[in-house]
Amino acid sequence: MNFDELKEKLYVAVLSDVLDQLGYTHQATRIPFHAYTGIPKLLGRCKTTLWADMFDRDKNPYELELQAVDSCQPGDVLICAAGDSRRSGIWGELLSTAARNSGCVGVIVHGGVRDIDKMRAMEFPVFATSRNPYDSQNRQRVIDLDVTVEIDGVQFRPGDLVMADEDGIVVVPKEIENQAIAAALEKVDAENTTRDAIKNGMKAWEAYQKFGVL
């Protein structure tokens, strides 16, 4: 599967629509994520980490987060499920550099990030819910990796396809991935046809009746 080609053709809303049609109605987030490095779209496979706040000295700082970063595979998107904590910026320039070296194509953080200017210069895609200058040491840590995590009621499972853009984030379960992608590509074509017809003067209701998409 060529992620670069799919990323150009697909977008979160159309994937959410086809997942709805397939009976998967809780696959997209509703909370706002911001593309902090200015790259508006991200597509790859979930590499998951579960984070927790901490209030004591960490005996093994950064241990599991570095393990997660170093074990990324080409095409992975690192998912940081941190409960939207504002205790620190858990992702920054050095983790981005190490993750990219392992083949990671971007990160989604349900929490804070930092070193934004440096990550922007790297052109590394970063979607997060906040920014925060504090270091994560003794404030937050990874407590598990490569497990199912949940963000805004949406489950992110290792290996599932995930896409992020300005509309939000959507997760495509592995077991229906091919079916969902085929349906999404078909819907994109139908939407393009409908748009052209409306531009050429066809009424919206007539276009919907003829092409069946909106």
Q: Are residues 99 and 114 in the same domain?
A: yes
pLDDT score at 141: 97
pLDDT tens digit sequence for 25-54: 999 999 999 999 999 999 999 999 999 999
Q: Is 8 known to sit in a ligand binding site?
A: no
114 assigned binding-site residue? yes
pLDDT of residue 125: 98
Residue 84 counted as an annotated binding residue: no
Q: Are both 150 and 96 inside the same structural domain?
A: yes
- Rounded distance between C-alpha atoms, residue 190 and residue 207, angstroms: 10
Which is more confident, 191 or 181?
181
CA dihedral 104, 116, 93, 54 (to 10 degrees): -90
User: Annotation-wise, does 153 bind a ligand?
Assistant: no
Say what percent of the chain tops pLDDT 90: 84
Each residue's pLDDT tens digit, 65-107: 999 999 999 999 999 999 999 999 999 999 999 999 999 999 9
137 lies in the same domain as 78: yes
- Is 137 found in the same domain as 37? yes
Rounded to whole angstroms, how far apart are CA atoms 69 and 77?
10
144 is in an annotated binding site: no
* Residues sharing a CB contact under 8 Å with residue 118, sequence separation 6 or more, in sequence order: 92, 93
The Cα 103–Cα 112 span in angstroms is 22
Question: Do 136 and 194 belong together in one domain?
Answer: no
Looking at the structure, tell me whether residues 195 and 128 fall in a common domain: no
190 lies in the same domain as 144 = no
Q: 116 and 61: one domain?
A: yes
In the structure, what pLDDT confidence band is assigned to residue 211 with cuts at 50, 70 and 90?
Answer: low
Q: Are residues 154 and 185 in the same domain?
A: no
This prediction has a pTM of 0.92
Strand partners, 194: none
Structural domain for 193, as ranges? 180-211
The amino acid present at 61, given as its one-letter code, is P
